[in-house]
Amino acid sequence: MLRFDGLSLADYSQSDDIQTIVERKLQLCIQTCIDIANYLIARKRLRIPDEEGNIFVVLLEEGIIGKELAERMKGMVNFRNILVHEYLEIDNELVHRNLTRNLHDFNEFAQNIIQYLNL
């Protein structure tokens, strides 16, 4: 995904191939974070969230991730639903905004999980 970091909206919008790659990779990155969170919740027998986006709230409550990251990750779940289910026509600006703003959140999430597991 880092090879697309810094990609302009114009360049993104002009290439169907890049759009397809970015959409799929963002979907997979978000799903991986969801899967990791669900695994930790199950393994540590934490509170079961009432909806999928709240899995990151549970991690916040347990001190595994911070509040701002939990909020951003919750938003990513909604974005992933748009990508997967195409509830709306996929908006290039929305995808590009998620690409440019949220790529580093995946790294931050991973670092938080590693730090938690190393305690």
**pLDDT (average), residues 51-55:** 93
Decide if pLDDT at 118 tops 70: yes
Q: What is the pTM of this model?
A: 0.90
Q: How confident is the model at residue 113 (pLDDT cuts 50, 70, 90)?
A: very high
Q: Give the C-alpha separation, 76 to 101, whole Å.
A: 11
Q: Give the C-alpha separation, 57 to 62, whole Å.
A: 9
Comparing CA positions, the residue from 22, 43, 24 lying closest to residue 116 is: 43
**Residue 47 and residue 61 in contact, taking contact as beta carbons nearer than 8 Å:** yes
**pLDDT (average), residues 95-100:** 90
Residue with tokens 């709230």: 57
Q: Give the C-alpha separation, 44 to 93, whole Å.
A: 38
CATH number for the domain whose boundaries are 2-117? 1.20.120.580
Q: Give the C-alpha separation, 46 to 80, whole Å.
A: 24
Q: What is the pLDDT of residues 58-92, one digit of tens each?
A: 999 999 999 999 999 999 999 999 898 875 678 99
Higher-confidence residue: 114 or 53? 114
Decide if pLDDT at 24 tops 80: yes
Residue 89: per-residue pLDDT: 78
Higher-confidence residue: 16 or 6? 16
Average pLDDT in the chain: 92
